[in-house]
Amino acid sequence: MTEIEKTLENHQVRPTAMRILIYKYLAEKEIAVALTDIESAFAKAERTTLYRTLKTFEEKKIVHQIDDGTGISKYALCESGCNCEIDQDLHLHFHCNNCNETVCLTEHKIPQIKVPDGFVSENVNLVVKGICDKCSGQ
Amino acid sequence: MTEIEKTLENHQVRPTAMRILIYKYLAEKEIAVALTDIESAFAKAERTTLYRTLKTFEEKKIVHQIDDGTGISKYALCESGCNCEIDQDLHLHFHCNNCNETVCLTEHKIPQIKVPDGFVSENVNLVVKGICDKCSGQ
DNA sequence: ATAACTAGTGCAACAGAAGTGCATTTATTG
DNA sequence: CAATAAATGCACTTCTGTTGCACTAGTTAT
């Protein structure tokens, strides 16, 4: 029983071959991935399977969905690289306009956002766009 | 020559009947609207025309596009209700999970966001989700 | 005013992502 | 091993966004 299998079972997800592969893929990638990314990485697998796997992972809090403003849903593992459990579920993501990759910037906390009276804040999504470290030539 | 016609011409957009209507619609709405919203409001007009009108408006800085995390592009007039000209093009939007409406919260400035070395910030998109004033019963 | 030209609109079609229903396979449990 | 439940594969559908092309309306020059 591998680490990944344990992790999946801890989240009430049965560790099938496909799921382990997808988990591995997500773990290796440091960036948020879209369904199509996984699709091209696993050419043999059906899109639907990948789609439903991601949905399952999302439900079971293994990954969380990221909206980086490209209009395409992306996903990233919740552990180590993302603080989606903390208080207000603050997401801080950086989307590179050059390479189109989206990364989690977890070191940088989001300042408390105030909303007007009557508004109830449940969730904050912050996407910074620009040029990432790899593309800016450091 | 109405106010709206003047506004359009000031932005180098020829004030056609359709465009005036769409501008009026946007001005009346206090919330950001999606293409489909306009579509159902103007059942007679073609979707393509509305689409291209919005694109033209966007190009000419009459409206700006909002990504509220629903995956559907929305638009709002740049004037009075949005500060899309200021320094870093900071957008602060509130999306109600109940009524699904998205509004601009212009009174509340976005604090300066720091990004790690090597990253260059060009644009910041902040969407707060929750319950709006209308739905929270004030 | 009219011909020539340009901008705007309508229609049709396509692309990509997301989502659903159903049959089949795989795994689990009695 | 049979019965059951979960996972997967396939075929479709829907929705948003987008483009090409023909046609119309509006503008400009002669």
What tokens appear for A90 in the block?
């603050």
Measure, in angstroms, how far nucleotide C3 C1' is from residue B18 CA: 27
Q: What is the pLDDT along chain B (138 residues), one digit of tens a residue?
A: 688 999 999 999 999 999 999 999 999 988 999 999 999 999 888 999 999 999 999 999 899 898 888 889 999 987 654 555 544 457 788 999 888 899 988 776 677 778 888 999 888 888 998 999 999 875
Across the interface, do B71 and A71 touch by the CB < 8 Å criterion?
A: yes
Q: Where do the domains of chain A lie?
A: 3-130
Q: Cβ of A1 under 8 Å from any chain B Cβ?
A: no
Residue-wise over A93-122: b if at least 16 C-beta within 10 A, else e?
Answer: bbbbeeeebbbbbbebebeebebeeebbee
A49 touches strand D (CB under 7 A): yes
**Least Cα separation, residue B89 to chain A (angstroms):** 11
Was domain B3-130 assigned CATH 1.10.10.10? Answer: yes
Alpha carbon distance B27, B19 (integer Å): 12
pLDDT digits (tens, 9 = 90+) for A74-94: 999 876 545 555 444 577 889
Residues paired with residue A92 on neighbouring β-strands, in sequence order: A126
